[in-house]
């Protein structure tokens, strides 16, 4: 097991790059600007390469993801945008599922018994998955531009987030997946921060910002097309969790329904991220984590 502090410099740069997605570009000259997130992303990539987390062999996949995502949104021809979209989906999935070489994601918690009657829990700092979140946030997702917009989106999403957390945990209790287990282990803050930047943002940027956004475009001529996009997004999210078994996938689909509706109701990726993080945090602090043994 490796301590999070050992990878703090590269993690801070990556977190900073993700946060800078919401910031203004740096003005280099009167006619030239550079996105803050891109500068920090390059520094994070160099740092993780120097400390051995990322090898140079992983660079082409990350560059290809960036180019594909840019083409999906900005290419001149429809066929170029379509090709960019397909490549973005494939590369994002391959990176998020750790199928591409060149990444040595640190193990932060290994076989920890978060709950005495729960399954052992292992937490990784998945730099490949976090990179997907960064690229999709920066190049694909429509983001909030002001603090006032953020407050409005979170206010609108709050009832949806609370209902989602209650529904998911009630279903998990009813199915015998968890039991109440109030706790605050010493690594709680680490769990929340790592879960947000290395998992939640990437999953919401992919399933909501990319997939649900595109589905809503395809279904916009249909009656209730937006709600169809919500349903499909939730089903795809559940299917992505089938590795944990049918019960886990069903709970993920239920949670995904809440995340997708938060995105649909507000039009803000930030609302989906906040809802997802709330569910994961409530699960970690208030119930058996990750599940009953």
Looking at the structure of the chain, the number of domains it has is 1
Q: Which domain holds residue 90?
A: 4-286
Are the C-beta atoms of residues 59 and 68 closer than 8 Å to each other? Answer: no
Report how far residue 61's alpha carbon sits from residue 39's, in angstroms, rounded to the nearest whole number.
Answer: 18
Give 179's DSSP letter. -
> CA torsion sign, 277 to 231 to 172 to 93?
negative
Are the C-beta atoms of residues 87 and 63 closer than 8 Å to each other? Answer: no
Are the C-beta atoms of residues 178 and 251 closer than 8 Å to each other? Answer: no
- CA-only gyration radius of the chain, Å: 19
> For the segment 51-76, what is each residue's pLDDT rounded down to a tens digit?
899 999 999 999 999 999 999 999 99
Are the C-beta atoms of residues 130 and 14 closer than 8 Å to each other? Answer: yes
Residue 293 lies in a domain: no
Are the C-beta atoms of residues 233 and 212 closer than 8 Å to each other? Answer: yes
> For the segment 97-116, what is each residue's pLDDT rounded down to a tens digit?
999 999 999 999 999 999 99
pLDDT of residue 4: 56
Provide the pLDDT confidence category of residue 24 given band limits of 50, 70 and 90. confident
pLDDT of residue 7: 64
Residue 31 lies in a domain: yes
Checking if the pLDDT of 34 tops 60, the result is yes
Helix axes 36-50, 127-139, angle to 10 degrees: 170
Residue 173 lies in a domain: yes
Residue 133 lies in a domain: yes
> CA torsion sign, 47 to 50 to 53 to 54?
positive
pLDDT above 70: percentage of residues in the chain:
97
**Max CA pair span of the chain:** 61
Q: Across residues 11-39, what is the average pLDDT? A: 87
Residue 292 lies in a domain: no
> For the segment 226-259, what is each residue's pLDDT rounded down to a tens digit?
999 999 999 999 999 999 999 999 999 999 999 9
Residue 188 lies in a domain: yes
Q: Across residues 2-12, what is the average pLDDT? A: 67
**What are the structure tokens assigned to 205, written together?**
């940027």
Are the C-beta atoms of residues 15 and 37 closer than 8 Å to each other? Answer: no
Are the C-beta atoms of residues 233 and 208 closer than 8 Å to each other? Answer: yes
Residue 170 lies in a domain: yes
Average pLDDT, rounded, for the chain: 94
Backbone angles phi, psi at 178, to 5 degrees: -140, 175
pLDDT of residue 1: 52
Provide the pLDDT confidence category of residue 2 given band limits of 50, 70 and 90. low
Residue 42 lies in a domain: yes
Checking if the pLDDT of 95 tops 80, the result is yes
């Amino acid at each position: 097991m490796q301590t999070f502090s050992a990878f703090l410099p590269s993690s801070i740069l990556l977190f900073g790059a993700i946060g800078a997605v919401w910031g203004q570009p740096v003005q280099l000259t009167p006619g030239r600007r550079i996105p803050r997130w891109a500068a920090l992303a390059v520094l994070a990539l160099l740092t993780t390469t120097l400390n051995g987390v990322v090898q140079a062999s992983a660079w082409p996949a990350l560059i290809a993801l960036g180019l594909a995502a840019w083409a999906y949104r900005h290419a001149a021809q429809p066929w170029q945008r379509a090709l960019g979209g397909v490549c973005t989906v494939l590369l994002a999935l391959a990176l998020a599922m750790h199928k591409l070489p060149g990444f040595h994601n640190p193990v932060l918690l290994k076989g920890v018994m978060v709950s005495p009657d729960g399954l052992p829990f292992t937490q990784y700092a998945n730099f490949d998955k976090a990179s997907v979140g960064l690229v999709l946030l920066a190049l694909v997702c429509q983001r909030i531009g002001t603090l006032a917009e953020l407050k409005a989106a979170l206010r609108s999403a709050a009832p949806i987030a609370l209902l989602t957390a209650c529904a998911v945990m009630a279903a998990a209790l009813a199915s015998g997946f968890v039991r109440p287990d109030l706790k605050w282990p010493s690594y709680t803050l680490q769990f929340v921060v790592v879960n947000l930047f290395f998992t939640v943002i990437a999953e919401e940027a992919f399933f909501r910002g990319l997939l649900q956004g595109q589905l809503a475009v395809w279904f916009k001529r249909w009656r209730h097309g937006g709600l169809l996009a919500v349903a499909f997004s939730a089903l795809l999210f559940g299917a992505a969790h089938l590795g944990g078994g049918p019960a886990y996938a069903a709970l993920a689909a239920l949670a995904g329904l809440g995340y997708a509706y938060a995105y649909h109701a507000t039009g803000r990726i930030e609302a989906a991220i906040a809802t997802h993080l709330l569910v994961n945090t409530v699960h970690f602090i208030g119930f058996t984590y990750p599940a009953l043994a």
